[in-house]
Chains A and B, each alone.
Chain A
Amino acid sequence: MSAVLEITGLKVDIPVSAGDLHAVRGIDLSVGKGETLCIVGESGCGKSLTSLSIMGLLPSRARVSADMMNFTGRPLLSMSETELSDIRGDRMAMIFQEPMTSLNPSYSIGNQLMEPLIRHRNASKDEARKRAIYLLEKVGITAAESRLNQFPHQLSGGLRQRVMIAMALMCDPELIIADEPTTALDVTIQAQILHLLAELRREFNSALILITHDLGVVARVADKVAVMYAGRIVETGRVEEVFNNPLHPYTQGLINCIPIPGKTARGSRLGSIPGIVPTLIGETQGCSFRNRCAYAGPACEIDDPVVELAPGRSYRCVLPEDQLKRQGDETIGKTGSLEAASA
């Protein structure tokens, strides 16, 4: 499988008044054609900044650097703004967290949907219109043709997000990045939108990076998972590996937070991870999870080495695999988390 996107050593630094905020601190990612990569982590761990830096949409004061950041073999970081804008919306597209505000209130749905195709493919208005109607139907919007003349404020949040998805698909992109696409929606709509995304990803055979903090979502749609904490990927692997055999204490903690039907006793306490994320301003050394970790020792203050178990399967911890595995079995006390979480 050839990689659509391949990143090693991505860093995002943002200058703030107290110094530099090291929001993303050297992460490696790769996603291939037809693959879904889920980036999981809590608010402020750098998930969104990672996705925005891939799209080149970060504000200019943010500094992005990477050892490698290739999109279909082309280095993104050495591209000019013009070259990047030729790719954006054409070969890679993004779906945002805020469907309510991500559409321009002054233009009709149709006008905004047609824009990418006209911009990138020199399509005529007629062709763009046809494609827009086709995709609106694909994303499950009824009476697609009449919707084209409607304005964003006439649509509900769920419909707007469907429009955003259709817009992302206009040029049949190789990579779709969805940044918490369901967070702002009703719970009932969330499942529909995710299902839709997964289905369309299959149908259009593009690569999908799905950013979320919902492990249930990950279990259902991901091929690969990257767990992010404080600007680093602390664990990554295929979804069944990460769920059934979580190694990093943070991943174990996250999985322990999910209630599992039939297993979690009614009235019993759900797991939680004590403490808060440390500040990432200035230099930090050692494992940034150590002050929340039950197994932390002196070694954690010095280093958090990457342990690579197999290609694409690694974690960041000083402890060896078998010890982590044992601890995981004790805290979670169940195997087959993947089936349970995706139930």
Chain B
Amino acid sequence: MLIYTIKRFFLAILVALTVSVITFSLNQLSGDPAIAMAGETASDSDIEYIRKLYGFDRPVHEQYLSWVARAAQGDLGQSFYFRIPVTDLLAERLPVSMILGVSAITFAIVLSVPLGVLAAMRPNSWLDRFALGLSVVGQAMPSFWLALMLIVLLGVMFPILPMTGSDSWQNFVMPTIVLGYYATPAIMRLTRAGMLEVLGSDYIRTARAKGLKRHTILFKHALRNAVIPVVSLAAVQFGFMLGGSIVIESIFALHGAGYLAWESIGRLDLPVVQAIVLVFSLFYIVLTFLSDLLNAWLDPRIRVS
């Protein structure tokens, strides 16, 4: 287990380094930041001054190394637009995205895992059909459209929920449903498929032959094996929900990091974009690492060599 953990950890570090290189290079390709910062009326000498001031004239690898060194110390630079440290900006915006991401993945898991299990227990029953229908609709319907429909329904026709802002928990209800529903089909189908496969396996027959109670067979012997692939999928989905909530945050005017990223791209606010991409990538890496550990805990074939 220790060797496995160390291996996974080093893999995570390598991925993080790769991500930082890619993040940095992408920004180098996306236009001259000095021109963007100086504004449209700036003279050539102004641009040159800004270029020197922010170090854009130095070789690329030097710029990268100093950026990494500072990032490691928690200094992600100054926002060109807000003129405040990026870290402060993130401290304000990230919690909103985190709350949305956590509640959306919770919503998705609470909805899809039990439904997937029930569907697998009674394949081709009305419940299975219902679950299938729910996931087909979820897969086919664009999130933004569902968001708009929810706003029409719960914000306009029956005004019970606030439509915009991020001041109270009620602001998060509709975004959570929209974002969580997006992840539901995949998790539910994988749970159902995994459960069906496991329920037909020889060791479930053994468990029945031992006369074990139904719930012991289902929860102890079947579910644990069925959810192993679901853990990895949910981790990826969760990462996606943290970073990919740009559209949802924009629609509901939730001032989260996704929304900030979208704004900053338009403003060519390089340090902010870099920081957000980096932070979200690190989230992904940490989540993958954690899901690997969770899988190892669930599956002794990974844990015990």
Q: Interface on A for B, CB 8 Å cutoff? A: 55, 57, 84-90, 93-94, 96, 98, 101-108, 115-116, 119-120, 151, 153-154, 164, 167
Closest to A52 in B: B205
A313 to chain B, nearest CB (A): 32
CB of A117, distance to nearest CB on chain B (Å): 10
Complex CA distance for A151 and B185, rounded to whole angstroms = 34
The yes or no answer to B72 lying at the interface (CB within 8 A) is no
The distance from the CB of B88 to the nearest CB of chain A, in whole angstroms, is: 46
Q: How far is the CB of A64 from chain B (nearest CB, A)?
A: 15
Q: Per a CB cutoff under 8 Å, which of B206, B213, B214 touches A104?
A: B206
Contact of A102 among B203, B224, B304 (CB under 8 A): B203
Please give me the residue from chain B that is nearest to A101 by CB atom. Answer: B202
Which A residues are CB-close (under 8 A) to B301? 105, 151, 153
- Alpha-carbon gap, A86 to B214, bound state (A): 12
Contact of B225 among A93, A96, A105, A167 (CB under 8 A): A105
Known contacts being A102-B206, A105-B225, A106-B225, is A85 close to B211, with CB within 8 Å?
yes
Contact in complex: A96, B205 (CB < 8 Å): yes
- B209 lies within 8 A of A105 (CB): no
Q: Nearest-CB distance from B255 to chain A (Å)?
A: 44
- B204-234 toward A: CB 8 Å interface, digit per residue (1/0)? 0111111111101000110011000000000
- List, sorted by A's number, 13 A–B pairs whose CB atoms are closer than 8 Å: A57-B205, A84-B211, A85-B212, A85-B214, A102-B206, A103-B206, A106-B300, A107-B221, A115-B212, A119-B210, A154-B304, A167-B206, A167-B210
Taking a contact as CB atoms closer than 8 A, the residue among B212, B221, B224, B225 that contacts A119 in the complex is B212
Q: How far is the CA of A102 from the CA of B206 in the complex (A)?
A: 6
Instruction: Say whether B209 contacts A55, CB under 8 Å.
Output: yes
Interface residues of B in 56-115 (CB under 8 A from A): none
Is B299 among interface residues, defined by CB-CB distance under 8 A? yes
Do A103 and B304 contact each other (CB < 8 Å), given the known contacts A55-B209, A119-B212, A119-B213?
A: no
In the complex, A85 Cα to B217 Cα: how many Å? 12
- Report the interface size for chain B: residues with CB under 8 A from the other chain: 23
- Would you call B300 and A88 a contact (CB within 8 A)? no
Given the known A-B contacts A103-B203, A105-B203, A105-B225, are A93 and B209 also in contact in the complex, defined by CB atoms under 8 Å? yes
CA distance A57 to B212 in the complex (A): 12
A104/B211 in contact, CB under 8 A: no
Closest to B200 in A: A59
Chain A residues lying within 8 Å of B225, measured Cβ to Cβ, are 104-106
Give the residue name and chain of the A residue nearest to B217 (CB): A85
The secondary-structure label for the interface of chain B is helix
8 A-B pairs closest in CB distance: A89-B211, A89-B210, A88-B211, A101-B202, A104-B203, A151-B300, A85-B211, A102-B202
Q: Mark B residues whose CB is within 8 Å of A.
A: 201-203, 205-214, 216, 220-221, 224-225, 298-301, 304
Smallest beta-carbon distance B87→chain A, Å: 43
Given contacts A85-B213, A105-B300, A120-B211, 14 further A-B contacts (CB under 8 A): A86-B211, A87-B211, A88-B208, A96-B206, A102-B202, A102-B203, A102-B205, A104-B203, A104-B207, A105-B299, A105-B301, A108-B300, A116-B210, A116-B212
Q: Which residues of B contact A108 (CB under 8 A)?
A: 300
Would you give the shortest CB distance from B298 to chain A, in whole angstroms?
7
Contact in complex: B300, A153 (CB < 8 Å): yes
**B209–A94 touching, CB < 8 Å:** yes
Shortest Cβ distance from residue B116 to the other chain A in the assembled complex, whole angstroms: 18
Give chain A residues whose Cβ lies under 8 Å from the Cβ of B224: 106
A70 to B259, CA, bound (A): 71
Cross-chain contact A57 with B213 (CB below 8 angstroms): no
A176 CB → nearest B CB, Å: 11
B281 to chain A, nearest CB (A): 32
Determine the distance from Cα of A87 to Cα of B211 in the docked complex, in whole angstroms.
7
**What chain A residues lie within 8 Å of B211 (beta carbons)?**
84-90, 116, 119-120
Chain A residues within 8 Å of B214, by CB: 85
With most chain B CB atoms within 10 A of its CB, the pick from A57, A105, A108, A151 is: A105
Residues of B within 8 A of A57 (CB): 205, 208-209
In the complex, the chain B residue whose C-beta lies closest to that of A111 is B220
CB distance from B304 to the nearest CB of A (A): 6
B304 near A151: Cβ-Cβ < 8 Å: yes
Most B Cβ at <10 Å: residue of A57, A87, A88, A104: A104
Please measure, in the bound complex, the distance between the C-alpha atom of A85 and the C-alpha atom of B208, giving whole angstroms: 7
* Residues of A with C-beta under 8 A to B201: 101
CA distance A103 to B209 in the complex (A): 12
Give the nearest-CB partner of B205 in chain A. A57
Minimum CB distance partner of B207 in chain A: A104
Q: Which residue of A lies closest to B206 (CB)?
A: A102
The reply to whether B221 and A104 form a contact with Cβ atoms under 8 Å apart is yes
Are A88 and B210 CB-contacts (below 8 A) given A105-B301, A106-B298?
Answer: yes
B300 in contact with A96 (CB, 8 Å) = no
A96-B202 CB under 8 A given contacts A106-B298, A106-B299, A151-B304: yes
Determine the chain A residues whose CB is within 8 A of the CB of B304 once the complex forms.
151, 153-154
A119 CA to B214 CA, complexed, in Å: 12
The closest CB in chain B to the CB of A170 belongs to B210
**Could you tell me the distance between the alpha carbons of A195 and B298 in the complex, rounded to whole angstroms?**
37
Question: Which chain A residues lie closer than 8 Å to B202 at the CB level?
Answer: 96, 98, 101-102
On chain A, the residues within 8 Å of B300 by CB distance are 105-108, 151, 153
Min CB distance A218 to B, Å, is 23
